[in-house]
Chains A and B, each alone.
Chain A
Amino acid sequence: MEISISEISCCFNNKYSIKLDEFRQKIRGDLMAKVNVDVKGETCPVPLVEMRKAIRNASEGEIIEVEGTHPASKKEIPMAVEALGSEIVDIQETNGVWKIKIRK
């Protein structure tokens, strides 16, 4: 789905491609996570460790959503995900609660 959208967006002018980017962002944000990891209120190193455990236990291509409040982890989880060769799909934050979606 995503690949085909980005291919189409290349063919459109800027205005449309921006719209499509927003659309893609929305799809990514709406992707249903199969695995949910709740680390709200947890501090170092628990969010990182729980993210790692979830990726280990997930199967290839599965979406994992980690939800937490520890500020440093919002920055560090994406670093770890990159090092682990997985992909960050979406990052959102509202009122100090962040949600990170990962595709294994």
Chain B
Amino acid sequence: MNTPNILTRRSFLRRAAVLGSAGACAGTIRDFRLMNSLMAAQNPNPSGPYKALVCVFLGGGNDSNNWIVPTDNTTYGEYAAARGNLVLPQSSLLPLRTGPLGTDPAYSYQGRTYGFHPACPQLQTLFGEKKLAIVQNVGTLVRPTTKANYNSGLAAYRPPQLFSHSDQVTQWQTSIPDQPPTTGWGGRVADIYNSVANPSGKISMNVSIAGANTLEIGNLVSQYHVATTGAVTLSGGAMMSGSGARVKAMKDIMALSNSNLQRQAYASVLDSAIKVGDLLNSNITAKADPTDSPLGGYTNPLQVTAFNGGQTFKWQTGLTGLYNPALTGFTDGLGGFPNTSLGTQLKMVARLIAANGPTGFDMKRQIFYVTAGGWDTHTAQVDGPNFTNQPTNTAGTHYGLLRQVSEAMFAFQRAMEQLDGGNPAKPYSTGVTAFTASDFSRTFPSNSQGSDHGWGSHHIIVGGSVDGGKMFGKLPTFAINGPDDTGTGRWIPGLSVDEHTATLAQWYGLDSNEVTGLLPNLSRFNTSFATKFIGFMKPV
């Protein structure tokens, strides 16, 4: 007699509990494995020069097809034929050159010439100065993927939830697209580096000016959130500030010995938060400098009191003489940083970096995160003759967003050069690298008002250690349903986020084993530590 296999409630609950525990353990085991592989690798060198990575995340999906555009007649013709009413006039594009002057020859890559969107003259300048590199068509990949692989529909070739905002943001920031997210790659770097590189550091290695993010989530290191005005501390007037009576009372209460471990830990965390916030705010406080003269182009946003025994710095907008301040529209009087969301965030990053040093935060390695939203341009992407009476397609939402990026990243690079203070080693301008990331690029054809979610995207890397004035990667073939297209103008990435991250990580100081431990999928791609992965960073 056959006994029916009845799943009782009790056995169902038992099995579900076992499965749930197994799933949770799997993620934990993976994290431990990652950490162990990193720990087992050679310890990073904490005595190296200061280095910082600054992630500029463009939330919503930047249409990089209109950010960096081929200008040679053949490729521009292909671009213009497929972009529909989103097309930018060829004459409006800002040509990439081999030098900083307008008379320098045009830069050519793989038989093509290129130009930046007309909103980005500052980026054009940085490219000419060889402080900016461009990586073409990079995106989330599980493994190298061709169109045939994509069309096979196999999950092995498709990152989960392609074209979905939050999933692609997460995958860009974890660099492990085919596994549930637990940590960001910046957090994993901090897990291994913080204790050896920042033994006496006074703030977290990972600082966000844009709130919580996946990139900086680690197992050991917590991200520290700072507003564009400084650390968020206790408020309430004089009683709560500095040595105010209420703050003193709270600190006294927190200092009391407590037999309850949880209460003791809470008191410790709160006390530490108050101290770090006070330290940060006192270190970045700008003080008036009577020698400043707005007429001379000087203001004082980067003056700090803690760096190098109280040395102060000035900011000069026209630092190199090659940059035309009139292009930026910097009118806020804050010394070169535009008064935009991204500008104020990057200004805070610059102030935090300036406030570093033995008497400041005493950090040798840092990772910063800033973001600008509004890039999901399904509509109102461009403004031009097809939309209003604008003469050319050089205005619209995308114009404003790209202008914000161009001005802010330029100002940040100039701030790092200013912090060098004439030091021939250029510790800040070469020690700090900023890079862009975004959910995805956008569809190549227009949806009549804008563009929809795409995949592979162009990105820029800015800094003195960047092998700048160059392009890397390969431009996708501008053919709808062509060899690089999923079918609707979504480019299959030619380079993976893993390779992009590995290039940055190698420059940051991770050795071969550490990079492999950091990025478990990296071995699937045809890339190597010996060739510096994508190669957009100069040798260390």
Mutual binders A and B = no
- Which B residues lie at the A interface, using CB under 8 A? none
